[in-house]
A and B are shown apart, each in its own frame.
Chain A
Amino acid sequence: MSKGDGPLLPDWETLFDRAACGLLVAEANGTITHVNKTFCDLIGIERESLVGIRRFQELLTIGCRIFHQTHWAPLLQMQGSIAEVKLDFVHAAGHSIPIVVNAVAREYSGSVYHEIALFVARDRHVYEIELMRARKQAEEHLAQQTQARAALDLANARLHLALEAAQLHVWDVDPETHERRLAPSVALLMGHDAPCPIDAAQLRAAIEPDDLEVAIAEFAQLLATSDGVYRCVFRVNGIDGVQRTVQATARALAEGDDGQIGHVVGLMQDISELSQQRAAAEDRALFAEQMIGIVSHDLRNPLATIMLGAEFLQSAGLAEDDKRVLLNIDRSVGRANRMIADLLDFTAARIGHGIRINANSIDLHALVAADVDDLSVAYIGQEIIHERIGRGKCRADPDRLSQVIGNLVSNAVAYGNGAPVTVTSRIGQDAFQIAVHNGGSAIPPDVLPILFKPMVRGTKSNTEKRSVGLGLYIVSEIVGAHGGSIDVISSASAGTRFTATFPTVRHVMGPKKRKPAGPKREGKSNSDDPVSG
């Protein structure tokens, strides 16, 4: 303690010893010459075990000692000082203590000494670890973002390639001005050789005047709805003198809860070729339909005349030989009429608007019984049995059902083995069925999947009994028009059974425009009569 005028402070040695940080002096080689109590307490080693005995660097963890030797010591030697380096010291108890070290090298009497101050840095250490973790996280996020951006760029590049390959041109709507913004490639639609900037006014000026009003109206409609889908076809008169048909589509994406329009993105496409092809196909179909209609109609008139003539001759009283000739005429006319009927049905089903159905409430069993009676007369020598199961009213087109029965029985007789043909009418709760069964060899398996397609026959032989191959196709079309379905089970042992199933409750679909094309029950006066063959 000093006395007199001086402040009442302990002496310098005591102040050094109790300083608020570790203090240490070492020789250049690290040998400790002075150390204060603060530091001794810090690392749990007595002063006597340090001074003159231990080197400063020996108090470090091995990892830090390497760092000290390779970095800290040379730096101190080169700079004469070093500050704020964190080193881990080993406590007498074995654990490590992070300590921030400042050092300065000073020369006294020709010898260099290192004067070192040491501050515990546990909090800084923790903070540093947190910083490092945060930095690592930030780096990871950056890497992820970079990756995502790269993926986005790639996706964009792919999209551009795809758009280019598909010749699709992007446009969108400026959310501020509601003006259309067009991709430079839209210029190609306007007859330019290469993409160039095009504004909405330029495009508007190029649109065929007749189409302009609709195009403007559709666009206004798009903007008026929050999630509208836009689709408009208009013609564009190109600067190259070519008129192109352009289809523009777009979708408005609502943004936010207020339903305001956010983004509208769309595509434009040159569909000139497509629309030309479609128009040509429609022309062809119409022409074919008209052709068949005309031919069928025009064929029927001379056939009716022949029929009338034959009837007239029949009543004139002919010799037996002549009557046979007359019978042949009569039969051939019937056959021609049936073929015309099939052709008209085919035309209606395939090219036109489908087979028309006039559904009425019918007594199914009675209808089938009448048909079976008629068919029994037509196929003399072929036994046809009618089975009836269930009862109730059904709703269907009676003439079309008779056509189905006639076609199926005709097939059964043609492909059967002479054993009785069975026609079953079955009325269930949800459906009614008409089934036709015949014995004989099975339908070849390779034919089964295509049996109901036009121009398919169960055999390749070309006898009098064969028709043009439209029968089953028309049957399936008729059943389909009733909302029903048809299937077939065929085997050598059990024979062949066609079953047409019709829903009783379902609404019967039918076309609207077309006249009923099928002739009435012409199958009954069947010219494929085996008796005459």
Chain B
Amino acid sequence: MSVHKRHGVTVNGEGPFTMVFAHGFGCDQNMWRFLEPEFRKRYQTICYDLVGSGESDLSAYDFKKYATLHGHASDVLEIIHEFAEHPVIFVGHSVSAMIGLLAGVAEPDLFAAHIMLGPSPCYINEGDYTGGFTRADIDGLLEALEGNYLGWSSTMAPAIMGAPGQPELGQELTNSFCRTDPTIAAHFARVTFLSDNRIDVGSLDAPSLVLQCSDDFIAPLSVGEFLQQTLPNGTLRIIDNVGHCPHLSSPAASIDSINEFLAATLDPRSVER
């Protein structure tokens, strides 16, 4: 099984950097539809599906390998080695921000910068740390996922109810987004929401942007503050947005923040449009 087929890798654009986009739990690479086209104008861009999500090869989901985020981090490194032609700007949403962090700690030379959308190194409250959830909350999620067995499959191919203002979506609706096997979804949820990578955060030396929503149920502001304080080279930006997906609900603000960060961080010649 090639890396390309395993992850449904799509490569676009050309430029002095390679931007790798990694989606979060519950979705697939389709969620980069508003962001990635903006950056392929000046960088090489790579989008992919995590194994177990979207168009990835579900048969490659090794429950043992993916029992921790390190399994996904090793996939990131494989993808970069095979497809990236330049230093990597890793854009990770939610759990993938931490996957990128683990990959960056393992092979720092590959990465020029990390951009983390709604990241959280640990979802469960512990002592002074406020992740936003109790263990019981997470157990409730896992139960909800297991109880929504039909939900996973039926939502994957929803009835077309019209998409006003976004006619281009109508065509794509015949496809299904974010499709996965419910058993894998439940496993990935368990791995994601029980992960604790706080100890690794201090080891990422590359410049990092933490992009947080002003009102995010999944990653509260306290988490963003923890990351800014703990990342050796971290910047925190808050976007005025409700929800966990600023790249979908506030793409323009997200792009502005990213550009601003890259301009300040990278060689100016590379950032010019």
Contacts and interface: CB of A to CB of B under 8 A. Distances in A.
A346 B213 CA distance: 107
Contacts of B140: 61-64
Interface stretch (B43-51, B157-165, B221-229, B255-263): B157-165
A70 B155 contact: no
Interface centre among B145, B158, B160 (most CB of A within 10 A): B158
Given A64-B144, A85-B154, A71 B26 contact: yes
Contact of A29 (B25, B26, B148, B243): B243
Contact of A84 (B158, B173, B217): B158
B178 A83 contact: no
Interface size class of A (residues with CB under 8 A): 35 or more
Nearest to B219: A69
Contacts of A80: 161-166, 169, 173
Contacts of A62: 133, 137, 140-141
B194 interface: no
Interface size class of B (residues with CB under 8 A): 35 or more
Q: DSSP majority for the A interface?
A: helix
Contacts of B162: 80-81, 104, 106
B217 A85 contact: no
A200 interface: no
B30 interface: yes
Contact of A77 (B145, B215, B216, B245): B245
Interface in A54-84: 55, 57, 61-67, 69-75, 77-84
Nearest to A72: B155
Interface string A355-380: 00000000000000000000000000
Contacts of A77: 245, 248-249
Interface in B188-244: 193, 215-218, 242-244
B111 interface: no
Contact of A69 (B147, B161, B172, B243): B243
Contacts of A82: 155, 158
Contact of A78 (B30, B145, B154, B217): B30
B24 interface: yes
Contacts of A272: none
A102 interface: yes
B85 interface: no
A365 B166 CA distance: 125
A66 B193 contact: yes
Given A86-B151, A106-B164, A132-B149, A69 B217 contact: yes
Given A73-B244, A107-B165, A81 B159 contact: yes
A105 interface: yes
B150 interface: yes
A128 B178 contact: no
B94 interface: yes
Contacts of A124: 150
Contacts of A65: 217
A128 to B, nearest CB: 6
Contacts of B25: 70-71
A74 B178 contact: yes
Nearest to A65: B217
Interface in B18-74: 24-27, 30-31, 33
Interface string B128-155: 0000010001111111111111110011
B177 interface: yes
A124 B150 CA distance: 10
A85 B161 contact: no
Contact of B24 (A61, A70, A98, A102): A70
A129 B143 CA distance: 11
Contacts of A125: 147
A79 B151 contact: no
Contacts of A102: 161
Contact of A71 (B165, B178, B215): B178
Interface string B1-32: 00000000000000000000000111100110
Given A77-B245, A77-B249, A88-B144, A63 B165 contact: no
Contacts of A132: 146-147, 149
A81 B146 CA distance: 23
Nearest to B142: A63
10 contacts: A70-B26, A71-B26, A72-B155, A79-B158, A80-B165, A83-B159, A83-B161, A85-B154, A104-B161, A132-B147
Can you list the 6 inter-chain pairs with the closest CB atoms, starting with the nearest? A80-B163, A63-B140, A70-B26, A71-B26, A81-B161, A63-B141
Given A63-B137, A70-B26, 19 more contacts: A28-B242, A61-B144, A63-B138, A66-B137, A66-B217, A67-B141, A70-B25, A70-B218, A71-B155, A75-B27, A79-B173, A81-B159, A81-B162, A81-B163, A83-B155, A84-B150, A85-B155, A98-B147, A132-B149
